[in-house]
């Protein structure tokens, strides 16, 4: 696969003659050559754009069951080994909508290939049959030995993936303003963060990828975490009725893993103004505002009781409840399901795949 986002621009110049005088100023000299008197000549660039990226299509990792689509793997969106995505392109004469899948794994595991299991692959085919392209992204994981950037590394990788996909929208044959994110667990948290964060578009950036918007039309979340300001939001907004303490959370996560989540390694580093600011930048609940996209959310696999395992802690039904409560408070539409047994079930009974199709078609 050939890749370079900064070259492939062929620049040449042509001469445009702007005549500010009358026809009489046109003179044919003795050699029958034309010239202009009192005319101004300016050089202006004509930019001829070659494709920004060329694809090597390959055999799909799933049986597409006759669906008319092509597959390309490992498209790089940044310079790191992990910053790549796979792409299913429906055969369409017009640009299509796009669903971007973001895998889970607690930010320490997981892979874009998760979408190829039997359940998820059936949903991929459903989307393709509805003329919706599908991308599945990888992102850098947390270094379990010595992490220095924390979870923002993962979040910003996914953010760049969205902006890069927009940047090459012509090559992907997608409508870059018609994108929905979906994911599970950590992937759901990333999707929520991108959905509610202010636009990362930086129109003056020298990197053309970063001039693209990061905003999307909808986010679909399975097993989401309501916020990554764990000390504040999980203790007070998510698990408040259980009198869960910060010390309880650290005990469940493990001290080293908890600190590495924020790119630090000691309690002194954690208790600093820098980490206070960091926690605000990963607090999705505080970012929710009226102009955010519609949310589909489901946390129904773990019981409503006090969590005593890491999985029940990070996927507790009350994460989805907090997302719904805060979305309702600011007027963000949502389709929500949470509880085991069920505490709330949206009257529409809309499944996440139908939510994606609906948002793309709006």
pLDDT digit string (tens) for 85-137?
999 999 999 999 999 999 999 999 999 999 999 889 999 999 999 999 999 99
Share of the chain above pLDDT 90, in %: 82
84 Cβ contact list (under 8 Å, min separation 6): 74, 75, 76, 77, 112, 137, 138
The alpha-helical segments, DSSP class H, found in 39-185 are 118-129, 151-167, 169-172
Residue-range domains of the chain with CATH: 2-49 (no CATH), 55-361 (3.40.50.1820)
Per-residue pLDDT tens for 173-225?
A: 999 999 999 999 999 999 999 999 999 999 999 999 999 999 999 999 999 99
Per-residue pLDDT tens for 209-221?
A: 999 999 999 999 9
Q: How far apart are CA 257 and CA 251, in angstroms?
A: 10
Q: How far apart are CA 272 and CA 124, in angstroms?
A: 44
Segment 265-293 mean pLDDT: 97
What single-letter DSSP state applies at residue 230? I
User: Taking the CA atoms of the chain, what radius of gyration do you get in angstroms?
Assistant: 25
Query: Do residues 263 and 149 touch, judged by C-beta distance below 8 A?
Result: yes
What pLDDT does residue 261 have? 96
Confidence of residue 82 (pLDDT cuts 50, 70, 90): very high
Q: How far apart are CA 220 and CA 200, in angstroms?
A: 20
What pLDDT does residue 117 have? 93
Confidence of residue 27 (pLDDT cuts 50, 70, 90): very low
Q: How far apart are CA 337 and CA 349, in angstroms?
A: 9
Confidence of residue 49 (pLDDT cuts 50, 70, 90): low
Segment 302-315 mean pLDDT: 96
Q: How far apart are CA 331 and CA 289, in angstroms?
A: 8
Whole-prediction pTM: 0.87
Q: Give percent helix, percent strand, percent coil of the chain, each to the nearest 5.
A: 35, 25, 40
Segment 327-353 mean pLDDT: 98
**Nearest-5° angle of CA 249, CA 250, CA 254?**
125
């Amino acid at each position: 696969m050939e890749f370079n986002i900064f070259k492939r621009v062929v620049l040449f110049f042509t001469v445009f003659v702007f005549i500010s005088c009358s026809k009489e100023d046109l003179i044919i000299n003795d050699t029958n050559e034309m010239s202009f008197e009192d005319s101004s000549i300016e050089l202006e660039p004509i930019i001829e754009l070659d494709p920004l990226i060329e694809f090597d299509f390959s055999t799909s990792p799933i049986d597409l069951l006759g669906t008319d689509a092509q597959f390309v793997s490992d498209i790089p969106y940044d310079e790191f080994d992990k910053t790549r995505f796979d792409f299913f392109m429906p055969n369409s004469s017009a640009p299509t909508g796009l669903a971007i899948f973001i895998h889970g794994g607690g930010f320490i595991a997981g892979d874009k290939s998760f979408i190829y299991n039997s359940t998820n692959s059936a949903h991929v085919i459903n989307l393709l049959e509805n003329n919706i392209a599908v991308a599945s992204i990888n992102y850098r994981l947390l270094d379990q030995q010595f992490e220095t950037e924390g979870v923002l590394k993962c979040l910003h990788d996914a953010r760049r993936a969205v902006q890069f996909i927009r940047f090459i929208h012509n090559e992907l044959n997608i409508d870059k303003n018609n994108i929905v994110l979906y994911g599970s667990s950590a992937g759901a948290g990333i999707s929520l963060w991108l959905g509610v964060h202010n636009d990362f578009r930086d129109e003056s950036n020298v990197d053309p990828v970063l001039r693209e918007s990061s905003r999307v039309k909808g986010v679909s979340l399975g097993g989401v975490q309501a916020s990554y300001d764990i000390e504040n939001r999980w203790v007070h907004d998510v698990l408040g009725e259980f009198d869960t303490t910060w010390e309880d959370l650290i005990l469940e996560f493990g001290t080293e893993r908890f600190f590495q989540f924020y790119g630090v390694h000691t309690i002194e580093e954690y208790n600093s103004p820098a980490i206070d600011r960091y926690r605000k930048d990963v607090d999705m609940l505080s970012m929710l505002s009226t102009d955010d996209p519609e949310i589909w959310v489901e946390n129904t696999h773990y019981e409503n009781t006090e969590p005593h395992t890491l999985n029940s802690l990070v996927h507790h039904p009350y994460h989805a409840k907090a997302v719904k409560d805060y979305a309702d408070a600011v007027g963000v539409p949502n389709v929500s399901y949470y509880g085991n047994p069920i505490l709330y079930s949206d009257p529409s009974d809309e499944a996440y795949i139908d939510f994606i199709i609906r948002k793309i078609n709006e």
